[in-house]
Amino acid sequence: MIRNKGFTVIEVMVVVVVIGVVTAITVGGFKITFDKSRLKQSGNEVVAFYQRTNRYATTDGWDYKIEIDRNNEFLRCMKDSPSATTKDSIGLRSELDLNFAGGKSPIVLTVNADGTVNDDDSIRQFKILDTETGRDSLLFYISPIGVMEVQ
């Protein structure tokens, strides 16, 4: 009796399908992790921007304004003076969106030389939304005493 050594076509197809399913699950998991890390990195950049602005105000002894512009998706800071120019700014990646309730855009916060914060429209919180996933967001709140909280 002759025995053929090897795999049947059905066995090979089953293995290929199993490998495909495992690959799809793994790639999907990596994409979710990548999306969350991208959002978290942008959140860290916003916090660092705020901390730099606070440091500019306290070390220079000047008030600095922070503009949060949801139309153009950026944050910028400038010295609170008539001849002020942009000292620092950050823009969001194209897949992220700035959002805040009510008021006009941009909202303006003033970081005082003592580190406290005033606002023009009683809006102290804003969100960064991931427009690709639609489910992930970070909420930022700046307290009157100058502390930024992220949730």
Q: Is residue 3 part of a domain?
A: no
Model pLDDT, residue 30: 81
pTM score, whole prediction: 0.79
Q: How many domains does the chain have?
A: 1
Model pLDDT, residue 73: 87
Model pLDDT, residue 55: 95
Q: Is residue 31 part of a domain?
A: yes
Model pLDDT, residue 78: 94
Question: Is residue 115 within 8 Å of 80, Cβ to Cβ?
Answer: no
Convert 22-83 into a string of H (helix), E (strand) and C (coil).
HHHHHHHHHHHHHHHHHHHHHHHHHHHHHHHHHHHHHHHCCCEEEEEECCCCEEEEEECCCC
Interatomic CA distance for residues 140 and 151, integer angstroms: 7
Q: Is residue 2 part of a domain?
A: no
Question: Is residue 63 within 8 Å of 111, Cβ to Cβ?
Answer: yes
Model pLDDT, residue 7: 82
Model pLDDT, residue 10: 92
Q: Is residue 1 part of a domain?
A: no
Q: What is the CATH number of the domain that holds 76?
A: 3.55.40.10
Its domain, for residue 38, covers: 9-150
Block means of pLDDT (10 residues each) for the chain, 151 residues, are: 78 92 85 83 93 94 92 90 88 87 81 89 84 86 90 87
Q: Is residue 4 part of a domain?
A: no
